[in-house]
């Protein structure tokens, strides 16, 4: 029997812990609702560079696993890749938001994504008490990819030209077998968005696209897209808390959804159309954003669902 004595606490501390106990009790119905579900979380952007937010994210992921939810983390790393390419004096360009990736660049991309970034996230989750395992789309043939093709119309001749983005790919097939095995264990998979081509080539894939494809393949209940904005805004710049696929498509046609938000919304629409119950675009810079979304009535971003 332990002989340790409980430390004395002040009345202010007692009130603080009472409030925390109340929060846990209020979250119980939401925890029960999501128990047994698979949640795919796309993690990236500036949230990865903030140490406090990164630590908070890791603890949230561990908590999900602890209460019976199966989180799968897919991460990006654009800023970190850019910094490494600059350090090595390798020039990089973008077409339609996608990094042109030649043979030299794809080696750096794989090194940064599968190496330093992936292991930082794995270490943070393990330090928070979880059991995370890092992997890329190459492991277990998780992500079979094909070369992505883009065309651009020449304004002078009006002729469409095929743009070569190098080793930039898109998911062709997701093999969820290895992820299914993790679901039955205490392992939290952390996936780097690198795919393997038909001839063993390495492809750099947009992390949002990978997250959506993985969510669809595993039949996830939620896809959480952690970004650098609160979510989708309406014409008055107010957050849209919830919308259907049909409304999202309408807002893209009218221009309310524009710019860099379009591919994120399209990823969510693809995931929902593949059977994901709902997809959420939310601000990953907010502390405990994942818990706010799943365990509170108001959520933490813009939820997109079929109807």
User: Does residue 101 register a pLDDT over 80?
Assistant: no
Both 134 and 266 in one domain: the answer is no
Return the pLDDT at 2: 55
- What number is the average pLDDT over the span 32-49? 86
Q: Is 8 inside any structural domain? A: no
**What is the count of structural domains for the chain?**
2
- What number is the average pLDDT over the span 40-45? 89
Half-sphere exposure of residue 207, counting CA atoms within 13 Å on the CB side? 29
d(CA 126, CA 146) in angstroms, rounded, equals 33
Least confident of 40-49, 123-132, 216-225, 266-275: 40-49
| Final residue belonging to a domain, choices 158, 191, 220 | 220
* Ramachandran class of 57: left when φ > 0, alpha when ψ lies in -120 to 50, beta otherwise: alpha
- Of residues 291, 246, 264, the one with CA closest to residue 42: 264
d(CA 59, CA 51) in angstroms, rounded, equals 12
Q: Which residues pair with 192 in a beta bridge?
A: 136
Both 181 and 289 in one domain: the answer is no
d(CA 77, CA 92) in angstroms, rounded, equals 15
Using DSSP bridges, classify how beta strands 194-196 and 160-163 pair: parallel, antiparallel or unpaired: unpaired
Q: Is 250 inside any structural domain? A: yes
Span 57-84, pLDDT tens digits: 999 999 999 999 999 999 988 788 888 8
d(CA 129, CA 142) in angstroms, rounded, equals 26
Do residues 186 and 242 touch, judged by C-beta distance below 8 A?
no
d(CA 240, CA 242) in angstroms, rounded, equals 6
CA distances from 86 to 99, 108, 188, 204 (A): 14, 11, 32, 18
Both 242 and 203 in one domain: the answer is no
Q: Which residues pair with 152 in a beta bridge?
A: 161
d(CA 90, CA 85) in angstroms, rounded, equals 5
Both 246 and 183 in one domain: the answer is no
Here the CATH number for the domain that contains residue 98 is 3.40.1160.10
Residue 168: domain span: 40-220
Both 197 and 271 in one domain: the answer is no
Better-predicted residue by pLDDT, 189 or 4: 189
| Final residue belonging to a domain, choices 193, 220, 247 | 220
Q: Is 32 inside any structural domain? A: no
Sign of the CA dihedral 245, 249, 251, 252? Answer: positive
Both 291 and 149 in one domain: the answer is no
Return the pLDDT at 151: 63
Return the pLDDT at 155: 63
- At residue 46 the predicted structure's pLDDT band, cuts being 50, 70 and 90, is low
Both 190 and 286 in one domain: the answer is no
What distance lies between CA 206 and its chain's CA centroid?
Answer: 11
d(CA 303, CA 223) in angstroms, rounded, equals 10
- What number is the average pLDDT over the span 182-204? 92
| Final residue belonging to a domain, choices 184, 200, 220 | 220
Both 174 and 210 in one domain: the answer is yes
- Of residues 303, 127, 285, the one with CA closest to residue 294: 303
Both 215 and 305 in one domain: the answer is no
Using DSSP bridges, classify how beta strands 188-192 and 132-136 pair: parallel, antiparallel or unpaired: parallel
């Amino acid at each position: 029997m332990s002989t340790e004595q409980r430390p004395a606490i002040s009345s202010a501390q007692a009130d603080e812990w009472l409030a925390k106990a109340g929060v846990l009790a209020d979250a119980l119905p939401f925890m029960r609702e999501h128990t047994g579900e698979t949640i795919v979380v796309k993690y990236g952007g500036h949230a990865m560079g903030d140490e406090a937010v990164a630590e908070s994210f890791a603890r949230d992921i561990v908590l999900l696993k602890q209460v019976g939810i199966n989180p799968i983390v897919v991460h990006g790393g654009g800023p970190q890749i850019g910094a490494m390419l600059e350090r090595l004096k390798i020039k990089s360009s973008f077409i339609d938001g996608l990094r042109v990736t030649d043979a030299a660049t794809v080696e750096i991309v794989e090194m940064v994504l599968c190496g330093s970034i992936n292991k930082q996230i794995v270490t943070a989750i393990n330090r928070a008490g979880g059991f995370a395992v890092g992997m890329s789309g190459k492991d277990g043939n998780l992500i079979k990819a094909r070369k992505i093709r883009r065309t651009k119309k020449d304004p002078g001749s009006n002729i469409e030209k095929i743009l070569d983005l190098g080793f930039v790919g898109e998911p062709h097939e997701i093999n969820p077998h290895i992820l299914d095995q993790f679901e039955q264990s205490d392992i939290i998979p952390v996936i780097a968005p690198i795919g393997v081509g038909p001839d063993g080539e390495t492809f750099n894939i947009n992390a949002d696209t990978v997250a959506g494809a993985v969510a669809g393949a595993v039949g996830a209940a939620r896809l959480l897209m952690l970004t650098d904005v609160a979510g989708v805004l309406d014409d008055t710049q107010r957050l849209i808390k919830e919308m259907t696929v049909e409304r999202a498509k309408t807002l893209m046609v009218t221009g309310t959804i524009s710019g860099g938000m379009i591919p994120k919304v399209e990823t969510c629409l693809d995931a929902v159309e593949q059977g994901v119950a709902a997809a959420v675009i939310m601000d990953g810079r907010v502390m405990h954003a994942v818990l706010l979304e799943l365990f509170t009535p108001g959520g933490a971003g813009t939820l997109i669902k079929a109807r």
